[in-house]
A and B are shown apart, each in its own frame.
Chain A
Amino acid sequence: MLSAAFMKLLREILFPLIAVVAAFVVGGIVVFIIGDSPIQTYKLLIGSAFSWPDGIGYTLFYATPLIFTGLAVAVAFRCGLLNIGAEGQLYVAAFAAAWVGIKFGGVTVAAPGGPAVNTPYANLPMLILLPLCCIAAMGAGAIWGGIPGLLKAKFGSHEVINTIMLNFIAVALVSYFTQYHYKIPGDAIMQSAEISPKAHIARLGKFIPALPERIPLNIAFILAILACVFVYVLLWKTKWGYEIRATGQNPSAAEYGGISIRKQIILAMAISGGLAGMVGINEVLGYRYRYYDGFSANYGFVGIAVALLGRNHPVGVFIAAILFAILLRGGIFVDAFTMHVSKDIVDMLQGIVIVFVAAEAMFRGPLKKFGLMKRAKV
């Protein structure tokens, strides 16, 4: 008999794999109907991600925020919560990182020669400023995620509604602050002033000679990998993770086991928000060095897809994030080099993947024949 653990692993890998393949088949048919060659299109879509250094560099750069948001959604999900608010959490977090980078980095917001719009509180040295910026990002995300957790724990209001609502509030709030307090007067773009150079984190090109520094892949990617390890250890190796998972699996049983469900809900949402907030580190400290309004390419929402495809496991999330990053990168090339197909094909493929992942039941029948499904109850 094959070991139960092995069969489980096989199932965990097989379902997402089938979903992806099925999505590509359906997508191929659509491409064919539109009038392009599916093979050529897919070659562009996927192939363009593997060139060195640009393909791989950019793909990993795109994957970074998706790993964070994927982990964020996964942690909440393991506690039985659906965090649709990663988008709002990462906006608040990115702004918080920029805010610290400006206000504590000695940056005066002013047009050249013009009066100061905003003056700094302090000019901290790098060793303090940089960690402070990171903590600000995670902390702001954790608070923004913790609020719906608190509301659910205290009043039982549903986290889905509250996280969605907080998304709107977050976007409006940071836009307001950017527009009226942190934008350089006269700047036509909705963005803050630049943060202090002391708050920058290094691009990986600095350490890898073959990788040019113009590619924005930065240390945040390393942090993303560490975050995967952190989530794994937290969830499966600590008593706190045990309590989060127990609550997610069966709140009644968790309660019976002396676990405070309310505490777990707040904790899981805060951790989730903190992870989503780490997107701000990649974006502000590692890439643009300022808060840029509307920067997120729906990272928070794609994170839900990443978590779903990655089966809410850090390893799965990492792989799924890379896959979606490949599509994001390839979409640009599909747009440019095919006759009819636009980069919207990426959204379509993402959508179909999710439909197939969600429709897991569809594959149960055929898979049961090969003895891969759970045994039916007698």
Chain B
Amino acid sequence: MIELRDITKRFGAVLANDRVSFSVAPGTIHAIVGENGAGKSTAMRIAYGFYTADSGEILINGQVREIRTPHDAIALGIGMVHQHFMLVEPMTVAENIVLGAEPGNAAALDLKKAAAEIRKVSDEFRLSVDPNATIENLSVGQQQRVELLKALYRHAQLLILDEPTAVLTPQEVEEFFAILRRMREQGKTIIIITHKLSEVLAISDNVTVMRDGKVVGNVKTSETNAAELARLMVGREVLLRVEKPDAKPGAPILSVDHLSISGRDGAKRLNDVSFEVRAGEIVGIAGVEGNGQTELIEALAGLIPGAYVTGHIRFEGRDATNADARRRKELGIAHVPEDRHRRGLLLDSSLAENTILGVHYRKPAVTGPGDIILDEKGIRRRTEQVIKDFDVRPPNPALPARALSGGNQQKLIIGREFELPPKLLLVSQPTRGVDIGAIEFIHRKIVALRDAGCAVLLVSAELEEVTALSDRLLVIHNGAIVGEVDPKAVTNEEIGLMMTGGRA
């Protein structure tokens, strides 16, 4: 169906794709795996005409084709679904789908005709999408199917899916895979970019593994396993399981008592939540994103104005409900935010300036009378310590945070927060967009912190991550804790059911 031959693409000094070659057989599901920055998205963007390759060629059905723009790609029957949906929220499904390919003449938009056609395509693949529904009323899983429909409506024979399962619940992933299999049966070819090895093994026929811009392996899925794929991706043996001794919980550090949070619109984001985290244990919170986890962590970190919060937060037995963010840090509450670019980093500032964020006003970051002047030596020492302890690369304190890969940015943040040192760690999506090697490292650090007696509250959208790391696991749905489960005994299906409001 499609073949890439010696595709090379350079961005400045970085070789993003180095003679990338692989071919995808028609009617198959082909997975492309690799760590962040391995070049898999670049290769696919070249195939879709977002970028043009510096050299190399692309063959479609055996013929060399020039793909200069996404329009060329669409004309050749290639469709792409991006990780971040490109939908206009207040518009209907039909309006979104015809956008850029409007039927009818220039003056009159024939939406009825389009809706009928969309319904036909939707039925053919059993997507069950209503063409007249408004996007903002659809669930994330439904929105994704709209994206699929968009490509199918344009008669795509080859679909490129960039990290399609990142936003889905376990149930939705299952449904989604069923749709992909149906599409394969109907003769469509699918390329799926992912970093979740379990999904690769579950859905794909063939796998291409990329590392540092090069293809390091083309294997049949039936002839490989997770360990081999991980080794190919990282270039060394990787421990896929988290190894941790049993927790030895101590005194309660954090007590949350009937905590409710409302949004600016007055709607409840978190509804009467109570729980405890003890020293030396990791309490995980599992849930579909957007069910109140963000608000919970932000409220605990002191980042939500008191007017929106009711209930009590006690820290080491003392009331901390009204303490601001600075005070909570001083008490020993560290926070690794879910969105490192929005909350966690000053991207254009140096690593040194980033390592003092939150402690920039006290020693060792400041010196002189009244602690006003920034102490460059003290800051440098602290930065070098974090860089060394958390293996941040490249180890240059003067570099802007923007220049680091996602994994290294995350290690920098975690290093900064661990350096406090914390009595309570609030950590949200610790390994989002982080490569396998760094995930292993971060998990080990969190467990080590727990073993040193720190209380840890962990939120993650990765079910495998929360179940593997947590000593106790709370499930959140619609702003309420719907249950506590034993992470060692529970199955993904049970948690998945609770996450979506059903009872286990």
A375 at the interface (CB under 8 A from B): yes
- Identify the A interface with B (CB < 8 A): 4-5, 236-240, 242-243, 245-246, 249-250, 252-253, 255-259, 368, 371, 373-378
CB-CB nearest in chain A for B368: A238
Q: CB-defined interface of B383-407 with A at 8 Å, one 1/0 digit per residue? A: 0000000000000101100110000
Q: How far is the CA of A358 from the CA of B337 in the complex (A)?
A: 34
Q: Return the 6 tightest CB-CB contacts between A and B, nearest first.
A: A258-B326, A257-B357, A376-B11, A257-B358, A375-B12, A258-B325
Contact A249 B11 (CB under 8 A): no
Task: Please indicate the chain B residues that have their CB under 8 angstroms from the CB of A377 in the complex.
Answer: 11
Contact A242 B337 (CB under 8 A): no
Minimum CB–CB distance from A9 to chain B (whole Å) comes to 12
Q: How far is the CA of A252 from the CA of B335 in the complex (A)?
A: 14
Minimum CB–CB distance from B345 to chain A (whole Å) comes to 6
Contact A258 B358 (CB under 8 A): yes
**Residue of B37, B357, B371, B396 touching A378 (CB-CB under 8 A):** B37
Task: Please indicate the chain B residues that have their CB under 8 angstroms from the CB of A250 in the complex.
Answer: 342, 345-347
Contact A257 B360 (CB under 8 A): yes
Contact B360 A243 (CB under 8 A): yes
**Residue of B301, B361, B372, B402 touching A256 (CB-CB under 8 A):** B301
Name 24 interchain pairs, CB-CB below 8 A, sorted by A: A4-B403, A5-B398, A237-B374, A239-B360, A239-B365, A239-B372, A242-B356, A249-B346, A249-B347, A250-B346, A252-B343, A253-B345, A256-B301, A256-B344, A257-B360, A258-B327, A259-B326, A368-B12, A374-B402, A375-B13, A375-B14, A377-B11, A378-B11, A378-B39
Q: How far is the CA of A259 from the CA of B360 in the complex (A)?
A: 10
Q: How far is the CA of A255 from the CA of B374 in the complex (A)?
A: 19
B349 at the interface (CB under 8 A from A): yes
The answer to whether A256 and B373 touch (CB under 8 A), given A249-B347, A378-B14, is: no
Contact B399 A4 (CB under 8 A): yes
CB-CB nearest in chain B for A250: B346
Task: Please indicate the chain B residues that have their CB under 8 angstroms from the CB of A237 in the complex.
Answer: 373-374
B42 at the interface (CB under 8 A from A): yes
**Residue of B37, B346, B396, B398 touching A253 (CB-CB under 8 A):** B346
Q: How far is the CA of A230 from the CA of B403 in the complex (A)?
A: 30
Q: How far is the CA of A289 from the CA of B11 in the complex (A)?
A: 59
Minimum CB–CB distance from A362 to chain B (whole Å) comes to 18
Contact A4 B303 (CB under 8 A): no
CB-CB nearest in chain B for A255: B303
- For chain B, which range describes its interface: under 10, 10 to 19, 20 to 34, or 35 or more residues? 35 or more
Task: Please indicate the chain A residues that have their CB under 8 angstroms from the CB of B324 in the complex.
Answer: 258
Contact A375 B349 (CB under 8 A): no
Minimum CB–CB distance from A236 to chain B (whole Å) comes to 8
Task: Please indicate the chain B residues that have their CB under 8 angstroms from the CB of A5 in the complex.
Answer: 398
Q: How far is the CA of A240 from the CA of B366 in the complex (A)?
A: 11
Task: Please indicate the chain B residues that have their CB under 8 angstroms from the CB of A242 in the complex.
Answer: 353, 356, 360, 374
Contact A239 B357 (CB under 8 A): no
Contact B329 A258 (CB under 8 A): yes
The answer to whether A238 and B343 touch (CB under 8 A), given A5-B398, A257-B357, A371-B12, is: no
Query: Which residues of B391-445 have CB atoms within 8 Å of chain A's CB atoms?
Result: 396, 398-399, 402-403
Find the residue from B14, B39, B357, B403 having the highest chain A CB count within 10 A: B357
Q: How far is the CA of A257 from the CA of B365 in the complex (A)?
A: 14
- Interface contacts beyond A256-B344, A378-B14: sample of 4 additional A-B pairs, CB < 8 Å, sorted by A: A4-B403, A246-B346, A371-B13, A376-B11
Q: How far is the CA of A163 from the CA of B342 in the complex (A)?
A: 28
CB-CB nearest in chain A for B326: A258
Task: Please indicate the chain A residues that have their CB under 8 angstroms from the CB of B327 in the complex.
Answer: 258
Query: Which residues of B15-65 have CB atoms within 8 Å of chain A's CB atoms?
Result: 16, 37, 39, 41-42
